[in-house]
Amino acid sequence: MGIVLKQSFRNTIIIYTAFVVGGINALFLYTRFLKEEYYGLVTYLLSTANLLMPLTAFGIQYTIVKFYTSYTIKKERDRFLSAALLIPLLIAIPIAFFGNLFYHEIASYLSEENAIIKDYTYIIYLVAIATAYFEIFYAWSKVLLKSVFGNVLKELYNRVVVMMLLFLVFFDVISKPEFIYYLTGAYFIRALIMMIYALKLYRPKFTFSVPENYIEVLKYSGYIILAGSAGAILLDIDKVMIPAKKAIEYTAYYSVGVYIGSVIEAPGRAMAQILQPLTAKALNEGNNTEVNSLYKKSSINLLLISGLIFLLINLNIIELYKMIPEKYSGGVLVVLMISFAKLYIMSLGSNGAIISNSKYYKILLPYGIAMALSVYFLNHWLIDLIGINGAALSTLIVILFFNTLKIWYVKHKFNMLPFTSKTFVLIFVIATLYAIFYFLNFHFHPIINIVLKSVLIIVIYLFVVSKLKISEDVNQLLKKLNHFKKGNR
C-alpha cells in the first residue's frame, strides 16, 4: 500500500482543496450570485452531460486501465492507444449528426417543464465530448502511475474556474448566459491540457492499425459503458429527473445537499486514481494475494477516514445550513441519506476495481442497467411522494442493495471479503460517537459551534481508533506526524 498511500495522500489534499473551493461555490457563491433558476440550469446541463459522457467515451477510459499493462510489446501498446483515441469519434460524430438533425425536437422535449433549458440544450453534447476526452487522457496518465496532475485538473480546475466566473457575474463583467458559455469553453481547455500532459508522459507512434485483441477490447468497452459510471449516473439521474417533476430551482436545492453529502467520498476518489491500475496489474499477473491485500486495506482505511468525515458533516449540518439562504435548508435529510450511501460505498474498498478489471467484468453491464432502471422507477414514485428527499432515498436504497450484491459476487468468484473483525469495531465507534454528539449542542455563532464540535470529534475519534489499532497504515501515519511535530519543537 506504500505507493497507494503516497499518491492517495497527495490526491486527497488536492481533492479536499477542491471540495473547499467547490463548497464555497455551492453554498455561498452560486446561491447568492447566480440565484436558484440559473444554478438549477447549470446543475441540470452538467448532470445530463455526465449521463451522455459514458456513451460518448464508449468506456475507453476504463479499457485503458484494464488492458494497458497487458501489452508488453511497444507496437501493440501504440496500436491500442491509437484505437483508444479514434473509437470515441465513431460514437461522437453520429450523435452530433442526429442531434443536429433533431435538435428542435430534443430541445422541446427536455424543456417541457422548464423553458429555460431549451436555448442551452446543445451545451450538454459539447460538455460530454470535452469530458470524455479528458477522462481518456487522464486514464492514459493513471496507467503510468502519474495521477496527481490529472487529479488537479479533474477536481480543482473546474471549481476554480467556476469561482472566477461567478465573481465576474457578481461584478457584472459577464452575464448569466455568458457564464454558461465560458464554463463550456473551460471544459475544452481542460481536455487540451490533459492531452498535452498525457502525450508528454508517453507519446505512441500513431497508427490506424488495431491491436491483435481488438475484439476483446471492444467487447470490454461495450460492457463497461454503463457499469463504470454507475455511481455518478445514480446522482445525475436524480438531478435530471427533478426538473421534469418540479421547478428547476429544486435541482439547486438538491444539488447543495448532494454536494455536502458527497464530501465523504473524497478519500475514495483520491485512492481510486492509483488503486485502479494497481488492482488491474495484480489481476493481469494472477496475483490474488495482492488483490486481497489491497481489498482489505483499502476497505478499512477508507471506512476509517470517511467515517470521521461522516460524523463531522452530519453532526454539524444544522449549523451549516444556518449559514446559507433558508430556502436551501430542506436538504438536511438529503445530506444524511447521500452521506450514508457514500460511506457504505467507501467500506467496499477496491471492490469495483476487482470486478471491472477481472474476467468477470461482463456482469457489470446488467448490473449497471438494473441500477439505472431501479433508481429511475423509484425516483418516479418517491419524488412525487416526498420531493427531493425521495430522490435521495431512492439513491440510498439502490446503493445499499446493489453494492451488497457486489460484495457477494466478489466473495463468490474470488473468495474475498473486504471486512475483518476490526471493521465492525470501527462501525461501533462511528455509531457511538454519532449518538453521543447528536445531542451535544453549543449556543454560540454557527461557525464557533462547528469548530468546537469538530475539534472534539476529531480528537476523540483519532484517539480511539489509534488505541484500538484499527488500521496499521493510519497508525503509522499518525506516528510520523507525531515525530514530525517533536522534531520541529
Summarize pLDDT for 112-162 with one digit per residue, the tens. 667 788 888 899 999 999 999 999 999 989 888 787 788 889 989 999 999
DSSP letter at 210 equals -
Residue 450 lies in a domain: no
Instruction: Look at residue 135 in the predicted model and tell me its pLDDT.
Output: 92
In a domain, 437, yes or no: no
Alpha-carbon span 262 to 338, nearest angstrom:
7
Q: Distance of CA 175 to CAs 118, 170, 180, Å?
A: 18, 9, 9
Count up the domains in the chain and report the number: 1
* pLDDT beyond 90 at 268: no
pLDDT of residue 415: 93
CB burial string 413-435: b at 16+ within 10 A, e below: ebebbbbeebbeebeebbeebee
> Is residue 463, in this structure, part of any structural domain at all?
no
How much is the pLDDT for 1? 47
Range with lowest mean pLDDT among 170-174, 262-266, 484-488: 484-488
**Count, residues in the chain:** 489
pLDDT at 250 over 80: yes
pLDDT score of 261 more than 60:
yes
Residue with the bigger pLDDT between 80 and 460: it is 460
CB 274 within 8 A of CB 11: yes
Cell output for 278: 494497481
Q: Is the pLDDT of residue 78 over 60?
A: yes
**Residue 364's pLDDT band (boundaries 50, 70, 90)?**
confident
- Residue 117: the pLDDT is 85
Domain that holds residue 82: 4-419
Give the integer Cα–Cα distance in Å for 238 and 334: 12
Q: What confidence score (pLDDT) does residue 4 get?
A: 53
Angle, CA 230 vertex, CA 269 and CA 321 arms, to 5°: 60
E strand or H helix at 173, and its extent?
Answer: none
How confident is the model at residue 111, as a pLDDT? 67
Residues 66, 59: Cα–Cα separation, whole Å: 11
Contact between residue 275 and residue 296 where contact means Cβ atoms under 8 Å apart: no
Is residue 336 in a domain?
A: yes
Asked if residue 181 belongs to a domain, the reply is yes
Does a structural domain hold residue 460? Answer: no
- Whether the per-residue pLDDT at 38 is higher than 80: the answer is yes
> Cβ-count burial of 455 within 10 angstroms (0-12 exposed, 13-18 middle, 19+ buried)?
exposed
Tell me, yes or no, whether 340 lies in a domain. yes
pTM score = 0.79
Tell me, yes or no, whether 474 lies in a domain. no
pLDDT for residue 50 is more than 90: no
